[in-house]
């Protein structure tokens, strides 16, 4: 297929619901017959044996996720990426070269992953969906992402 598909880039702090929403969106789109693939940050780190959480290690992991997502998108698949990706500049750079729909997921709930939070996380500033998962269902979150990404 020669039509670039959207990349749904779900970002936010650990425990905010990125992977949960990503998996639910993946299942929803596949049920509707769409060719879809998900890249989860934890899975990517395990696959590449990257346990480096330094700024350089994080950047390498983010760039790897971007490369995979761009490849999938160009192969006609909707790529869903669920990663912390704390560097605003790196996400903005990616949005300039690909069909990225950024979803900023956050919550005020304590979900037990706060000790993994990134102190240097830069929240999106433009062209993104602001999704507070504190009081919405996973189904509502998926519906909002689909509308934002034009995947209705």
pLDDT at position 148 over 90:
yes
Rounded Cα–Cα distance for residues 118 and 95 (Å): 21
Percent of the chain with pLDDT over 70: 93
User: pLDDT tens for residues 27-73?
Assistant: 999 999 999 999 998 777 767 766 677 888 889 889 999 999 999 99
Distance, CA of 146 to CA of 22 (rounded, Å) = 11
Q: Please report the domains of the chain, with CATH numbers, ordered by start residue.
A: 7-149 (3.40.50.300)
Checking if the pLDDT of 1 tops 60, the result is: no
pTM above threshold 0.85: yes
CA distance to 108, 109, 110, 115, 135, per residue, from 81 (Å): 22, 23, 23, 22, 23
Quick one: what percent of the chain has pLDDT higher than 90? 72
């Amino acid at each position: 297929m020669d039509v670039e598909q959207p990349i749904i880039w779900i970002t936010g702090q650990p425990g905010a619901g990125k992977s949960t929403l990503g998996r639910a969106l993946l299942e929803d789109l596949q049920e509707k017959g769409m060719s879809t693939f998900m890249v989860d940050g934890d899975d990517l780190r395990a696959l590449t044996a990257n346990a480096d959480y330094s700024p350089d290690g994080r950047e390498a992991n983010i760039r790897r996720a971007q490369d995979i997502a761009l490849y999938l998108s160009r192969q006609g698949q909707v790529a869903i990426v669920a990663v912390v990706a704390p560097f605003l500049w790196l996400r903005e750079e990616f949005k300039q070269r690909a069909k990225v729909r950024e979803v900023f997921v956050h919550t005020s709930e304590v979900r037990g992953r706060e000790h993994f939070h990134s102190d240097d996380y830069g929240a999106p500033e433009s062209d993104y969906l602001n999704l507070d998962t504190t009081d919405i269902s996973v189904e509502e979150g998926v519906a909002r992402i689909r509308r934002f990404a034009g995947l209705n």
